[in-house]
């Protein structure tokens, strides 16, 4: 620089997603792995049954739903035994509901980390969701046993199952990030989450088939992203017909929820350390 010249540095606001860098998340992957392992250890620390709780919760819900909705209310189950019909839907549902519950409270629970050290804050709700994957895989073992017992085997639709579960995770993380950010600003949101999950359950075809909804209203129920995804998961595992329109609608909404969650989370992120 020549003498007398003045160097100017202009600081301008970056785009809304400029702070959201996948490369940065990848650089902190070891922290993500550590937080997932920590959450798993805390979940099962000093428990008598350990990982069996991952099976007991959906199993007991299956028993209750089978008694009250399958036998007493006589809710149809697409000509399948009601226990396996409802259990197949309970697995992705509990992964989703547990994910938004834990990730929604994750920032407040890890306030000591947020206020002391920098790292991509999205790692915290992501780790909470990742810890639920172990519960899902453990509970899935019982589903395999039930399928063998009832003589039900998947067809080619099973190839769609991993993609549908990824979309469930995407929807859970999107909703979880929104709730996590709201929970930091408004602490009473931690009381809203259980009511939201309970209402969402009955708005999702878990204990009843989507086929009982009139065709002209199917688009409305599919505005709930979990409706088409859970119906698709049930169909892919139990060799039922796949409703591609339902899956497409719910999958698209799941991706939009994820995008909206990122936008809102990044908008609130710079205020987390001050508020929390």
69-94 pLDDT tens trace: 988 888 988 889 999 999 999 999 99
Residue 34 lies in a domain: no
Is the confidence at residue 175, as pLDDT, over 90? Answer: yes
Is the confidence at residue 150, as pLDDT, over 80? Answer: yes
- Per the model's pLDDT, the better-predicted residue between 210 and 166 turns out to be 166
Residue 26 lies in a domain: no
Residue 16 lies in a domain: no
pTM, to two decimals: 0.86
Residue 167 lies in a domain: yes
pLDDT value at position 253? 94
Residue 33 lies in a domain: no
Query: Can you give the residue range of the structural domain that contains 190?
Result: 50-275
The CA-based angle 49-52-58, given to 5 degrees, is 130
What are 38-78's pLDDT values in tens digits? 888 877 776 656 667 778 888 999 999 999 998 888 898 88
Residue 24 lies in a domain: no
Is the confidence at residue 259, as pLDDT, over 90? Answer: yes
Q: Which residue has the tokens 């002391």?
A: 116
Those residues whose C-beta lies under 8 Å from the C-beta of residue 82, and which sit 6 or more positions away, are 65, 66, 69, 70, 71, 75
Residue 106 lies in a domain: yes
Residue 2 lies in a domain: no
pLDDT value at position 21? 57
Please classify residue 2 by burial: count the beta carbons closer than 10 Å to its beta carbon, then call 0-12 exposed, 13-18 middle and 19+ buried: exposed
> Average pLDDT in the 118-132 region?
85
Q: Taking Cα atoms as reference points, which of 79, 107, 117 lies closest to residue 186?
A: 107
Q: How many CB atoms lie within 10 A of CB 201?
A: 17
- 149-154: list long-range contacts, CB under 8 Å, 24+ apart: 150/80, 150/81, 150/84, 152/80, 152/84, 152/238, 152/239, 153/239, 154/236, 154/237, 154/238, 154/239
What are 7-38's pLDDT values in tens digits? 544 434 344 454 455 677 778 888 888 888 88
Is the confidence at residue 177, as pLDDT, over 60? Answer: yes
Which backbone phi and psi does 136 adopt, to 5 degrees?
-60, -45
What are 196-247's pLDDT values in tens digits? 888 999 889 999 998 888 877 777 888 899 999 999 999 999 999 888 888 9
State how many domains the chain has. 1
DSSP H helices, the chain, are 22-27, 29-44, 53-65, 82-104, 106-109, 111-114, 123-150, 161-185, 189-202, 218-221, 225-238, 244-269, 272-275
């Amino acid at each position: 620089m020549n003498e007398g010249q003045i160097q100017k540095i202009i600081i301008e606001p970056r785009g809304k997603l400029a702070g959201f860098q996948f490369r940065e998340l990848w650089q902190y992957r070891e922290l993500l792995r550590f937080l997932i392992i920590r959450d798993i250890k805390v979940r099962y620390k000093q428990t008598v049954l350990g990982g069996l709780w991952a099976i007991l919760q959906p199993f007991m819900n299956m028993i209750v739903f089978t008694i009250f909705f399958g036998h007493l209310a006589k809710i149809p189950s697409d000509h399948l035994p009601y226990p396996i019909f409802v259990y197949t839907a309970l697995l992705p549902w509990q992964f989703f509901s547990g994910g938004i519950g834990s990730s929604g409270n994750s920032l407040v629970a890890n306030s000591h980390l947020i206020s002391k050290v920098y790292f991509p804050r999205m790692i915290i709700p992501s780790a909470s969701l990742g810890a639920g994957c172990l519960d899902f895989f453990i509970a899935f073992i019982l589903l395999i046993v039930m399928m063998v017992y009832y003589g039900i085997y998947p067809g080619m639709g099973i190839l769609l199952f991993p993609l549908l579960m990824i979309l469930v995770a995407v929807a859970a993380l999107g909703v979880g990030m929104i709730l996590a950010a709201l929970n930091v600003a408004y602490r009473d949101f931690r009381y809203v989450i259980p009511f939201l999950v309970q209402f969402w359950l009955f708005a999702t075809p878990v204990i009843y088939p989507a086929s009982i909804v009139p065709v002209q209203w199917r688009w409305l129920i599919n505005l709930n992203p979990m409706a088409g995804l859970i119906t698709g998961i049930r169909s892919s595992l139990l060799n039922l017909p796949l409703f591609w329109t339902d899956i497409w609608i719910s999958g698209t909404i799941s991706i939009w929820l994820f995008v909206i969650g990122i936008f809102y989370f990044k908008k609130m992120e710079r205020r987390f350390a001050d508020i929390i």
